[in-house]
Each structure stands twice: as structure tokens, then as C-alpha cells.
Structure 1
Amino acid sequence: MMNFQLTPYLMLNGTAKEAVQFYQKVLGAEVVFIQTFGEGPEEFVNGLSSEEKGRIAHSVLKIGDSALYVGDVETGMAPVRGGQIMLCITTRDVKESQRLYELLQKDGGVVNQPLQSTYFSPSYGVVTDRFGVTFQVFTRK
């Protein structure tokens, strides 16, 4: 039995705040969590412009019985075309994240961001599978 959660993740180019407000109005979305890049740890925030600090690093919306994640791409990462829908796999175990991350790379998958410890997760990485579907693999703290 697999023990993880799969959530759609909208990645945008600086319009995540506007998108969250739009989904609140149009879809009745409830904001469960929202954090800007400027609210990250000091070593991450240093060097960001005020515009970059105001971008949404991560948000969690509850829409009906579903969850939706919305965020802006990080400065320095390739911009997404229009907006990109990713799938976020959330696990409770670093070994499970490693297993899924490695399996998604098989047969032509591409590593977008190596699986590594970050300030928000003990194990986080991004991989695009052989079908062109991009997954964020995230381990809860």
C-alpha cells in the first residue's frame, strides 16, 4: 500500500497572488496556507528584490473537497510558459520520496531539481517523467 498524497500544483511567473484571489472569488477557494519568498529564511531572502520577496513561494487552497497548491517559480529558475500544472507527491518518509523520485526518472525521465534537504522539507526534488509530466516530490517535516 502506498502512503502518499497527490496534489495538483500550479506554477506561475509572478501572478500567483492574483490567481489565489481569482480562485477565492470564482471558485470559493479557502486559503489554508500562504507564504511569500520574503517570509523564507534570511539566507534565502538575502539578495531578492522587493518584487521577488512579494511573490508567492507556496500556497494551499481548499476548493470544495479538493486541495490545490499555487506558487510562483523561484528567481533564477526557468520561467514557465503561461502557467504550468505539476503534480506534488507528499510523503511522510524520506526513503519513500527517494524511491518515487528514482522511479519517475526511469526510461527517459529528467531531473529538474535534485532531491535534497531544504528549509521546508527534509527531502524535496522535481523530476519530469518520460511522458512530460512534472512531479514535485516533497517529504513532510
Structure 2
Amino acid sequence: MTIRLSPYLMMNGNAKEAIQFYVQALDAKVLFNQSFGEMPENPEFPLPEEAKNLVAHAMLRVGETDLMFSDTFPGQPSHSGDQVTICISINDIEKSKRIFEILSQGGEVKMPLQEAFFSPAYGIVTDKFGVTFQVYTEGQQ
């Protein structure tokens, strides 16, 4: 089993600018960058025009560390303090479920652990200490 913790920066519509800034400031390399408009369409939830060019997910490599980014989705609240979360990347679904369940105890589930087009098990939870974690299970569905 592999487990990694990575900082995840939630930006308020300026993730592209932040990515360019950190590439320059930290000599970072862009490993991945996808807009909401490049994601598979879901007919049940049409994508608003103002979301299409926003960053859905990006990853930079800074030295030996990954730094992840996303813009908040239009209409979703963006609060100071929610801007930095921790992404837990795990390659074992059962371990993801166990970690998510423990982090949920006394906390608040923001998105239930569920299958997504990019992960067999992904969810977001704020633990009882107010720290928000994204649990991301690696691997193909």
C-alpha cells in the first residue's frame, strides 16, 4: 500500500494565475492541468459557461513534492481557511474507506467517498479539528 499527503490549494477563480506564479517562483513543473470544460460532460449537471475555463485539477512538481490546485466551482462558497486542504492519495480502496470513516468521526463529510471518473473512491471530509482532507484512491476503475 502506498499513501502520500499533498497540499491542495483551492483558488477562487485565479488558479491559472497562481500556477504560473508558482512555476516561476518555485521552479515548478506542470504535471497535469485540466479545466472543468475538458472534463467528461454530465447531462444531469450541465456545466455553466463561466466554469468552462476554470481549473478543475492541476498538479505541479516542486522538487520532490506535488502541489495540487483547483478553482472553486461557480456558486460554491470560498472561505478563508478552506483554501488549503490536504490530499491523501492511496492505492487501496479499503484503506481509503477506513481513513475516510475515521476522519469523518466527529467531523463533516463535504462529499461522500464515491466513485468518480478520475478515481474509484474519492471524497472530501473536514475532521473534528477543522482540517479538510480530500481522500483520493489511485488506480483505474
Same fold (TM over 0.5): yes
Q: Report the more deviating stretch, 41-50 or 116-125.
A: 41-50
Q: Which amino acid aligns with 1:39?
A: E
Which residue of the partner structure matches residue 75 of structure 1? Answer: 74
Preserved contact between residue 73 and residue 80 of structure 1 (Cα < 8 Å): no
1:26 Cα deviation after fit = 1.3
Preserved contact between residue 37 and residue 45 of structure 1 (Cα < 8 Å): no
Q: Structure 1: give runs of 5+ residues left out of the alignment.
A: none
Which residue of the partner structure matches residue 134 of structure 2? Answer: 136
1:73 Cα deviation after fit = 1.6
Which residue of the partner structure matches residue 36 of structure 2? Answer: 37
Q: Which of 108, 113, 117 is matched with 1:115 structurally?
A: 113
The 1:44/1:134 distance shift into structure 2, 3 A limit, reads farther
The 1:82/1:136 distance shift into structure 2, 3 A limit, reads closer
Preserved contact between residue 86 and residue 133 of structure 2 (Cα < 8 Å): yes
Preserved contact between residue 82 and residue 132 of structure 2 (Cα < 8 Å): no
1:94 Cα deviation after fit = 1.3
The one-character-per-residue Cα deviations of 1:89-134 (angstroms, maximum 9, x if unpaired) are: 011121111000001112x211111111111111110001111100
Segments of 4+ moved more than 3 angstroms: none
Preserved contact between residue 50 and residue 74 of structure 2 (Cα < 8 Å): no
TM-score (norm 2): 0.90
> After superposition, where does 1:43-62 map in structure 2 within 5 Å?
43=42, 47-62=46-61
TM-score (norm 1): 0.90
Secondary structure in 2 matching 1:54: coil
Count of residue pairs the alignment pairs up: 139
CA distance in 1, matches of 2:116, 2:8: 18
The 1:44/1:35 distance shift into structure 2, 3 A limit, reads farther
Preserved contact between residue 13 and residue 83 of structure 1 (Cα < 8 Å): no
1:8 Cα deviation after fit = 0.5
CA distance in 1, matches of 2:132, 2:60: 20
Q: Structure 2: give runs of 5+ residues left out of the alignment.
A: none
Q: Report the more deviating stretch, 41-50 or 10-19.
A: 41-50
The RMSD of aligned alpha carbons is: 1.9
Q: Which of the two has greater helix per residue?
A: 1
CA distance in 2, matches of 1:136, 1:37: 18
Q: Which amino acid aligns with 1:80?
A: H
Q: Which amino acid aligns with 1:139?
A: T
